[in-house]
Amino acid sequence: MHLATSGKRPLPRRVAYVYSPEYAELASLLPSNIDRSKKVHALVEAYSLLKLRDLCVISPRKATVKELCRYHSRDFVDFLRTVENIDEDDDDDEDDERIDKLEEYGLQQDCSVFEGMASYAEHVAGSTIEAAALLAEDAFDVVIHWDGGRHHAQKDRAEGFCYISDIVLGIMELQKGFPKVIYIDLDVHHGDGVENAFQFSDKVLTVSLHHFAEGFYPGTGNGRLPSPRSKAVVNIPLKSGLTDGNLIRIFDGMIEPLKESFSPDAIVLQCGVDGMAGDTLGKWNLGLDGYGHCLKTILSWKKPLIVLGGGGYKNSSAARCYTYLTSTILERDIADDIPEHEYFEDYAPDFQLQVEPGRQPDENTKEYLKVVQALVNEQARNV
Ligand SMILES: [Zn+2]
């Protein structure tokens, strides 16, 4: 624990962490991130972070239908909750109808139906709503929900590995206690679902930095306002190979000033880690320092904060990063040697917490970042 330079010991940050072994099992069924949840929480636990006095483990909870329908359409929610129980029929007409509905609600391909899907979606949404409610009650300063952060889900369909928009529902809950909310999205993909929900609001500023290139999912977020009526929307489109140094430069030079002018009352951070070096997507080249810097800066703003997960397709890297970020929130230094635990072998060959950068060149040159800065300035005129 750091001491304040004034000599007065700061109050420990009140931190909640959403976890239960049953929820980790359920979240580990997510087809895009099989077993990730279990491995993340196991590493956090192996570093003894869940035992700390200033961390309170809170149980996940299911969102009710009414809560889900605060944002999502009733038809979508009903279908999502019941589709697992609908048997494929001998009747061709009913089968065709089912296939049409699966298509309509996006429950195919990268969001295919899996056993436990409804329960998973209800828990993810309920837990982020609960995180927001706890902040609004002033029960905690920071709530961590690594299984949340599903930023592509839309009002009436699943998209991009995201079945439910826990983020939109969480922000809506936060708005009951906090007039202005800033949403910051560090995932390598554009946070299109959240942007779509709030783009016409001047009370929620959505800021997404992401890889942007032709053919790269979801293809939105080019740095120009999505609609002439859009209000507080800022997109930071970046190229391949982003390094910690440039992430830090962008965060300090572009995102921190946005926070200054917007002056939010609460913060939601989507911390997708699919931009890490070695992620199977292979787009960016980030390590722990880049994400850590962004989080430390956000913590220094001293506003109620929800920290969510997101993408991240190499389980051992996601576990390393989420463990490091948990320790950062708790202001504890942790050893670089991975402790012995159930998934220890996943950390071969070096068994270190740090993630080595790859050799990929950073295409975000000084000249390109000037172009991006101009785009940000233009979008920030509405903030
Ligand atoms: Zn992503």
pLDDT of residue 98: 87
Distance 274 CA to ligand 1 centre (A): 6
| Confidence band of 382 (pLDDT split at 50, 70, 90) | confident
Distance 186 CA to ligand 1 centre (A): 9
For the cut 60, the answer to whether the pLDDT of residue 4 exceeds it is no
Distance 222 CA to ligand 1 centre (A): 16
Q: Do the strands 233-238 and 266-270 form a parallel or antiparallel pair, or are they unpaired?
A: unpaired
| Confidence band of 34 (pLDDT split at 50, 70, 90) | very high
Per the annotation, binding residues are 110, 160, 187, 189, 274, 313
Short-list 282, 278, 267, 271, CA closest to 322? 271
Phi, psi of 43 (to 5 degrees): -75, -40
- What are the pLDDT digits (tens) for 234-248? 999 999 999 999 999
Short-list 175, 154, 373, CA closest to 265? 175
Place of tokens 């001998």: 90
pLDDT of residue 3: 41
How many Å apart are CA 383 and CA 370, to the nearest integer? 20
For the cut 60, the answer to whether the pLDDT of residue 106 exceeds it is yes
How many Å apart are CA 276 and CA 291, to the nearest integer? 9
How many Å apart are CA 246 and CA 364, to the nearest integer? 8
Quick check: 18 and 130 in contact, CB under 8 A? yes
pLDDT of residue 92: 77
How many Å apart are CA 153 and CA 111, to the nearest integer? 10
Query: Which residue numbers are catalytic?
Result: 152
Distance 285 CA to ligand 1 centre (A): 14
Question: What domains sit in the chain, N to C, each tagged with a CATH number?
Answer: 15-380 (3.40.800.20)
- What are the pLDDT digits (tens) for 319-357? 999 999 999 999 999 999 999 999 999 999 999 999 999
- What are the pLDDT digits (tens) for 117-165? 999 999 999 999 999 999 999 999 999 999 999 999 999 999 999 999 9
Question: H helices of the chain, where?
Answer: 21-27, 36-46, 65-68, 74-82, 92-104, 117-136, 166-174, 192-198, 244-250, 256-262, 288-300, 315-329, 366-380
Distance 376 CA to ligand 1 centre (A): 21
For the cut 60, the answer to whether the pLDDT of residue 37 exceeds it is yes
pLDDT of residue 55: 96
| Confidence band of 86 (pLDDT split at 50, 70, 90) | confident
Quick check: 183 and 268 in contact, CB under 8 A? yes
Short-list 209, 261, 285, 253, CA closest to 370? 253
Pair of tokens at residue 284: 């960016």
pLDDT of residue 1: 41
How many Å apart are CA 147 and CA 299, to the nearest integer? 20
Average the pLDDT over 202-224 and give the result: 97
Q: What is the mean pLDDT of the chain?
A: 95
Place of tokens 């040697």: 337
pLDDT of residue 87: 66
Pair of tokens at residue 322: 């989420």
How many Å apart are CA 266 and CA 68, to the nearest integer? 22
For the cut 80, the answer to whether the pLDDT of residue 225 exceeds it is yes
| Confidence band of 96 (pLDDT split at 50, 70, 90) | confident
> Inter-axis angle of helices 117-136 and 74-82, to 10 degrees?
130
Taking the CA atoms of the chain, what radius of gyration do you get in angstroms?
20
Quick check: 159 and 191 in contact, CB under 8 A? no
Per the annotation, binding residues for a divalent metal cation are 187, 189, 274
| Confidence band of 2 (pLDDT split at 50, 70, 90) | very low
- What are the pLDDT digits (tens) for 297-321? 999 999 999 999 999 999 999 999 9
3-class DSSP state of 101: helix
Average the pLDDT over 249-258 and give the result: 98
Distance of CA 15 to the CA centre of its chain: 17
Distance 320 CA to ligand 1 centre (A): 17
Distance 269 CA to ligand 1 centre (A): 14
pLDDT of residue 24: 98
Phi, psi of 63 (to 5 degrees): -80, 145
Angle at 331 between CA 326 and CA 19, to 5 degrees: 25
How many Å apart are CA 13 and CA 203, to the nearest integer? 26
Distance 323 CA to ligand 1 centre (A): 19
Average the pLDDT over 196-203 and give the result: 97
Distance 312 CA to ligand 1 centre (A): 7
